[in-house]
């Protein structure tokens, strides 16, 4: 996994992988959707993959913005040698994370480069960002009629959180997954059944931000591969079922200064947020609408970020732009020394979502914003009771989030015009395709109604 400054001798690296039986490097990058792409290349030519990069036709990859001809038509995925590690479930293969380059320069539409740029702003302050990512996901399968269904028809409790029977029935996949993650250096902490039928969560230890993002992409790739071997689909769709909770991808965020002090902790009362922590949270809330476009980037994401009834009693998904101490009904849950950012869902590009989140938090600090007092209510209850003012809501659909990103000049300036242009164009096309569809709900409701 990528760690800062972990320089190493390339020839020694090749030799050591060769000694482990590795002959092929799975050189992987992500497209603008955060989906893993790449190719298999021979280990023996590692120096080429590191110094020049593995070559790809640029316009064949979502969101590169590269032309069809000329020197910049080639996307070069430069292997980050410190990320190389043998894949335990694919004998002979080692995985490597790549950075996007074109024409010999870092590619401005490469989301990993975006995160590195934001991270460099922390270097100036001597700070390190740690992120703990909490992946929730569904295990699905295709029905004989071609539809989607929970993979396990016995997994049907009304309140399925922590259901051991359903967890144990997935032991073939989850057991192999756990084993692979452990072999890949994931310090796993827990695996449980979540609050929807067919929904699970796997937790592992936090990491430095870029390493955490790299790790999550690897996590997904391993999950997809191993789930398919068991005839399952590992689904990152945020909300497959309207009457059950959706999947979040919460980020636990903390900053440490050069002496290792928690920047978000108030020195006078470490259980409380420092002024810097308050300002970071205020930045997240201030840019919350635009951040939604990057952290919750699909049409389906907004079915999760809604005040929906669920069979289990709640959805735990954020709806209002508020923060509160250990308050899971808020967009930002604050904890001693860290914050939980509950907006992201697993359809996001983790690099872009993290880069944008960091940019928004730093903007809050640079402007000295104050998030105000934390919310002490259960916001779902407050909304149900009615009659009381609610905090401002998150965007209700992808179009509103995209509008907000278009209107948020400060955030767009941090992410850069090239990335934003590609992202917005692709996401507006996705919205237009959705807007051009007619759902079963509409037909049922309107066909004979008037
Ligand atoms: N599934 C919830 C979400 O969509 C989160 C549940 C939890 O807090 O673990 O954000
Ligand atoms: Mg959870």
> Hey, where are the domains in the chain?
10-105, 118-445
In this structure, the residue with its CA closest to atom 6 of ligand 1 is 316
| Cα of 342 from ligand 1 centre, angstroms | 8
Percentage of the chain beyond pLDDT 70 is 98
* Measured distance CA(265)–CA(339) in Å, rounded: 10
Q: Is 220 in the pocket of ligand 1 (CB under 6 A)?
A: no
Pairing type for strands 24-30 and 93-102 reads parallel
* Measured distance CA(294)–CA(351) in Å, rounded: 10
Q: Which bound ligand lies closest to the C-alpha atom of 237?
A: 1
* Measured distance CA(253)–CA(240) in Å, rounded: 27
297-307 pLDDT, tens digit each: 999 999 999 98
Helices 288-295, 417-435: axis angle to 10 degrees equals 70
Q: How many Cα atoms occupy the beta-carbon half-sphere of 361 within 13 Å? A: 27
Q: Is 328 in the pocket of ligand 1 (CB under 6 A)?
A: yes
Q: Is 246 in the pocket of ligand 1 (CB under 6 A)?
A: yes
| Cα of 146 from ligand 2 centre, angstroms | 29
Q: Write down the pLDDT at residue 8.
A: 61
| Cα of 318 from ligand 1 centre, angstroms | 9
Torsion of CA 213, 360, 297, 248, to 10 degrees: 60
Give the H or E element holding residue 446.
helix 440-446
∠ CA 349-350-353, rounded to 5° = 85
CATH architecture of 118-445: 2-Layer Sandwich (3.30)
Atom from ligand 1 closest to the CA of residue 245:
1
Q: Is 245 in the pocket of ligand 1 (CB under 6 A)?
A: yes
Atom from ligand 1 closest to the CA of residue 136:
1
Q: And the tokens for 291?
A: 């951040």
- Ranges of the chain with pLDDT below 50: 2-7
In this structure, the residue with its CA closest to atom 7 of ligand 1 is 316
* Measured distance CA(261)–CA(277) in Å, rounded: 13
10-105 to CATH, choices 3.10.20.70, 3.30.70.1230, 3.40.50.150, 2.30.110.10: 3.10.20.70
| Cα of 134 from ligand 2 centre, angstroms | 7
Q: Write down the pLDDT at residue 3.
A: 46
């Amino acid at each position: 996994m990528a760690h800062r400054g972990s320089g190493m001798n390339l020839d020694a690296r090749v030799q050591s992988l060769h000694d482990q039986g590795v002959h092929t490097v799975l050189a992987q990058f992500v497209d603008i959707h955060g989906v893993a792409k790449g190719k298999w290349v021979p280990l023996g030519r590692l120096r080429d993959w590191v110094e020049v990069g593995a070559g790809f036709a640029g316009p064949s990859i979502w969101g590169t913005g590269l032309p069809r001809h000329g020197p910049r038509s080639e996307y070069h995925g430069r292997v980050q040698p410190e990320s190389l590690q043998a894949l335990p479930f694919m004998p002979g293969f080692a995985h490597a994370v790549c950075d996007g380059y074109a024409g010999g320069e870092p590619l401005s539409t490469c989301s990993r480069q975006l995160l590195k740029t934001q991270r460099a702003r922390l270097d100036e302050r001597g700070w390190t960002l740690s992120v703990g990512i909490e992946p929730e996901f569904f295990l699905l399968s295709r029905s004989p009629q071609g539809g989607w269904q929970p993979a396990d028809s016995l997994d049907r409790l009304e309140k399925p959180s922590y259901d051991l029977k359903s967890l144990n029935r997935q032991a073939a996949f989850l057991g192999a997954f756990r084993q692979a993650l452990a072999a890949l250096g994931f310090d796993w902490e827990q695996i449980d059944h979540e609050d929807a039928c067919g929904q699970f969560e796997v937790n592992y230890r936090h990491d430095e931000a870029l390493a955490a993002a790299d790790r999550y992409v690897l996590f997904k790739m391993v999950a997809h591969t191993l789930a398919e071997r068991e005839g399952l689909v590992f689904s990152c769709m945020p909300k497959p079922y309207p009457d059950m909770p959706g999947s979040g991808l919460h980020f636990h965020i903390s900053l440490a200064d050069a002496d290792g002090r928690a920047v978000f902790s108030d020195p006078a009362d470490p259980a409380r947020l420092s002024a810097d922590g308050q300002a970071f949270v205020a930045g997240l809330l201030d840019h919350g609408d635009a951040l939604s476009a990057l952290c919750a980037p699909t049409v389906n994401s907004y079915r999760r970020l809604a005040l929906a009834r669920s069979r289990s009693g709640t959805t735990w998904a954020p709806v209002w732009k508020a923060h509160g101490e250990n308050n899971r009904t808020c967009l930002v849950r604050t904890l001693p020394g860290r914050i939980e950012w509950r907006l992201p869902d697993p359809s996001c590009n983790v690099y872009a979502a993290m880069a944008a989140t960091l940019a928004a938090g730093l903007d809050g600090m640079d402007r000295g914003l104050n998030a105000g007092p934390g919310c002490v209510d259960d916001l779902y209850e407050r909304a149900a009771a009615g009659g009381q003012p609610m905090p401002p809501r998150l965007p209700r659909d992808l179009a509103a989030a995209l509008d907000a990103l278009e209107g948020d000049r400060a955030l767009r300036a941090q992410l850069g015009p090239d990335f934003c242009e590609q992202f917005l164009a692709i996401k507006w096309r996705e919205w237009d395709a959705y807007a051009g569809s007619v759902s079963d709900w509409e037909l049922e409701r309107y066909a004979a109604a008037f």
